[in-house]
Amino acid sequence: MRTKIQDVYGYKQRGEKFAMVTAYDYTSAQFVDRAGLPLILVGDSLGTVVQGHDTTIPVTIEDIIYHARMVVRGSQQAMVVADMPFMTYRDPAQGLETAARLFRDGRVQAVKLEGGGRMVPVVEAIVEHGIPVMGHLGYTPQSVHQFGKQIVRGKTPAQARGLLQDAHRLEEAGAFALVLECVPGPLAAIITAQVGIPTIGIGSGPDCDGQVQVWHDLLGLYHDFVPRHAKQYAQLGEAIETALKQYATEVREQVFPTERHASSLPDDMLRMLIQEVNPPRSA
């Protein structure tokens, strides 16, 4: 049985930290489920780590639905949350339609959207129709062209007060959890203590109720760039590269494949086929 909203609330009530990770396909979702993580995010981060874009802006709702369906098929235990892509929730009506498509066609259990107080009407409209919403405050990648490369949010008194106010407003609108991205640790701790819903940090210190990381960062698939907020728990990028080089070498040197990597034929059938292909010439 999948993680429920009540289970997520329970983590905060018990003071039990929990982990969330992005996943984008069937296989990665299976790994997450076997590892016992309670939440999976089908993030629009797929735009950068899967599709190769510079930002998340080009990601479409069709992209999210495509990947979400794979993740849902690959998992049985984790709650699957899907990002609402850029410009798909400009007003309550559009936001509800986007959330409904992700819920119905993507088969996810919740949706996530970026933004503060101005998103309250959108959140309310979605929640009123029975679709759980996760908020996202702090650094919001979909706003990269508005705020540029300034990652950390909440370093000024005005920004800090604004984030705290936005957290309260999203909670009141019905959001069941909040992602806090690149918020100063002490401020994230204050927000976490002030709101009744779980906070999920990424680059926001250890005091959030949970943490979320991007699959590729967590597993070391990129050795040329590691975000400051990430920790590599494996070096799979190097392992994959080594394996591919060994495979290519063994093919080139005729080490692989061997007879045991293929099926065989009974001797009598093989002789018959050879005779059919190369029939004896008549005198």
What are the residue ranges of helices labelled H in the chain? 5-14, 26-35, 46-49, 61-74, 92-104, 120-128, 144-147, 157-173, 185-194, 215-218, 236-252, 267-277
Rounded to 10°, the helix 120-128/157-173 angle is 20
Strands 210-213 and 177-181: what pairing?
Answer: unpaired
Q: Do 139 and 151 touch, CB atoms closer than 8 A?
A: yes
14-to-20, 144, 155, 262 alpha-carbon distances in Å: 17, 36, 30, 55
The SS3 assignment for 74 reads helix
Give the H/E segment covering residue 18.
strand 18-22
A 10 A CB-CB count for 82 gives 30
Distance CA 128, CA 211 (A): 27
Catalytic residue chosen out of the listed positions 114, 124, 171, 181: 181
CA atoms within 13 A on the CB side of 141: 21
241 is annotated as an active-site residue: no
Q: Do 84 and 68 touch, CB atoms closer than 8 A?
A: no
Catalytic annotation, residues: 181
